[in-house]
Structure 1
Amino acid sequence: MNTFLLVAALGLLGASLPLATGLWKLRPVVRILRSDPTSIETAVNGTGTVELEGTAGVAESTVNAPFTGTACLAYECTVERRTGSGSNSNWTTEVERTAVVPFVLESDESIVVDPDGADRSLSIDEEGTVDGGETPPEPILTVLREDDCPDARSRRRRVRERRLEPGESIHVFGDVERRSTPETSAASYNAVVCEGDAPTFVLTDGDERSALVRQAVMPVTLILMGLFSIVSILVFLAVYA
């Protein structure tokens, strides 16, 4: 019986880990819920934590996404390789590339955003698969070679590209700091939205609702998994203990 209870206690401890992790990761969602979007005009003349919505624009320059060559303000690209076989197969990340540049957030006014260090949540703009035995398109092949990946034709691969492009709607939750900005259309302002001292720095394409939904998916899933495991163990104890 003691061994049985010990195993059950260890099971409860293990089940509490995803619950605790989910609650911890839910903090950004709570902070955004407690906040209301601020006008950029107010943010430009203040400091501290702000929540802003607007349209992304070019500050100084753009970066080109590796797979499509699209000029953008931020990108996240991944190449995943299919490993294993049958029911034991899964996707393993083989290449992961990201890049960001400072950009201008425009609405009633304009303010510079330095996205370095932000928890970015961008929609998938391009997605495709390359079957094993096929030669990937040249941009994908170039990325694989640059990262010294195995034979590009050996396995099935899945590629994804997420981008923040000029003109797209964007939601930002971060810290406003007073500092000089680059020589851009926003150079008249010395306020920058950045990681700073804010407890949360989140950048999402879309509006506040999009930010809340995307930030909540993983923690809520972990919380439900933890609760389900704990309840299952308690029911098992009540029946068989």
Structure 2
Amino acid sequence: MFAPLVQLGGGNLLPLAFLSMFLLVGLGVAAYGVANLRTYVQLKSMTPTDAHAVGSGLVEVEGEAAPGPRTLEAPFSGEECLAYEFEVERYHADDDGSNWQTKASGTRTVPFLVTDETGTVGVKPTEAGLSVDRDYRIVVGNDEQPPARVRAFLAREDDLDHDTASFDVAGISIGGDRHRFTERRLDPGESAYAAGRAEPTTAVDGESPTVVDANDGGRFGSLFGAPFVVADAGEGEAEWRHLKLGVGSLLFGALFSAIPLYVLSGALLG
């Protein structure tokens, strides 16, 4: 039923380009799933090391998160934390259905400590390696204003330190639509897990070694290079998150790619 839409000889190539775009998106999502499954396998092959025994090289540690030289103030709840992610979504509805669309998102982290009964190690988290669960969410109706703290955060975003944060909130207009504000955090005193490269010469608040990202940075570096994961959970939960994300992304990407791949192959071979 789709094949007549694609004409390769002197016909309309727009549907071909459209289907190719969908195919590339699907393959990209599937590749992201494979990368997360790879990280899961890497984490599964490792064993947590007691803090006092951490030396150098690839390690994983788990314990309790403790502040380093400074902490952060979470954007929507105002809670003291060591890392956070935020997301601003707008509710969109039309004839094709309704869904929440991400309009702004961001991540910020600071170095912190992980302690267990044997000692303390430093951790330097990155945006790419952070895995935190939801701690705060509020939905603001069409005729409502966000809480004062939310409005103040969005208003002052341009003044934040972009060397230690990445944000995208440009062009946000709150009025007239339902919006959802979500915050995920790693708080002092919570369970914490870190897998990465231990550097004996790097310290956090006087404590060394420190677990750092062995890659050049960026989300794809952590996914396709040596593992680097910082989570507000123990080892098992951190592994489960990557397994769940990997399987879900792989299945979605495969299904998303199936129809355009079938149509394109039929057009090229038929």
Give the TM bin, normalised by the shorter chain.
0.7 to 0.9
Residue of structure 1 in register with 2:35 after alignment: 24
Residue of structure 2 in register with 1:162 after alignment: 184
RMSD: 3.2
Paired AA for residue 241 in structure 2: R
C-alpha distance in 1 between matches for 2:67 and 2:214: 22
Residue of structure 2 in register with 1:104 after alignment: 113
Secondary structure of 1:30's counterpart equals helix
Cα offset, 1:180, TM superposition: 4.1
Within a 5 Å distance, the mapping from 1:15-164 to structure 2 comes to 18-43=29-54, 46-85=55-94, 87-107=96-116, 108-146=118-156, 149-164=171-186
Residue 212 (structure 2) pairs with residue 194 (structure 1): yes
Cα offset, 1:218, TM superposition: 2.2
Cα offset, 1:162, TM superposition: 0.9
Secondary structure of 1:68's counterpart equals coil
Provide TM-score, normalisation by structure 1. Answer: 0.80
Q: Is the 8 A contact 2:107 2:127 kept in 1?
A: no
Cα offset, 1:228, TM superposition: 5.5
Q: Is the 8 A contact 2:81 2:185 kept in 1?
A: yes
Cα offset, 1:60, TM superposition: 1.1
Equivalent residue for 2:230, pick from 194, 199, 203: 203
Unaligned runs of 5+ residues in structure 1 are: none
Q: Is the 8 A contact 2:89 2:104 kept in 1?
A: yes
C-alpha distance in 2 between matches for 1:203 and 1:35: 15
Q: Is the 8 A contact 2:108 2:127 kept in 1?
A: no
Per-residue CA deviation, residues 25-56 of structure 1 (Å, 9 max, x unaligned), is 3111010111111111111xx11100111000
Cα offset, 1:171, TM superposition: 1.2
Unaligned runs of 5+ residues in structure 2 are: 9-15, 158-169, 216-224
Change (3 A) 1:87 1:205: same
Cα offset, 1:215, TM superposition: 1.1
Q: How many residues align?
A: 228
Per-residue CA deviation, residues 52-92 of structure 1 (Å, 9 max, x unaligned), is 11000011111101111111111111111123435433222
Change (3 A) 1:158 1:226: closer
Identity of aligned residues (%): 31
Cα offset, 1:150, TM superposition: 4.5
Please say which of residues 197-206 and 82-91 is displaced more in the overlay. Answer: 82-91
Paired AA for residue 190 in structure 1: S
Change (3 A) 1:118 1:23: closer
Secondary structure of 1:26's counterpart equals helix
